[in-house]
Amino acid sequence: MLSIILSACLVSNPGQCRDFKIPLDIDMDARQCAMVAPPYFAQWSEEHPQWQIRRWKCQPANLNDT
């Protein structure tokens, strides 16, 4: 499984940034993830107007999990 990783910064403080993980419940490869990702981060942006997305990527869901 893959997740979309959003790197976003606060609109009010652009120096304060963090990563957010959007898990995908669909089994797909990275290319397919890149094709289906835009609606997911568009919805995330609408739900989190205080954050501005700087970049995003698809990666295995379990990567960086501890």
Which tokens go with 59?
């990666």
- State residue 66's pLDDT score: 40
Number of other residues whose CB lies within 10 A of the CB of residue 54:
11
Quote the distance between the C-alpha of residue 56 and its chain's center: 5
Average pLDDT over residues 29-47: 92
Do the Cβ atoms of 57 and 24 come closer than 8 Å? no
Q: Which one has a higher pLDDT value, 44 or 25?
A: 44
- State residue 47's pLDDT score: 97
C-alpha separations of 59 from 3, 9, 16, 33, 62 in Å:
6, 20, 23, 9, 8
φ, ψ at 54 (rounded to 5°): -95, -40
- pLDDT by residue (tens digit) across 1-29? 899 999 999 999 999 999 999 998 888 88
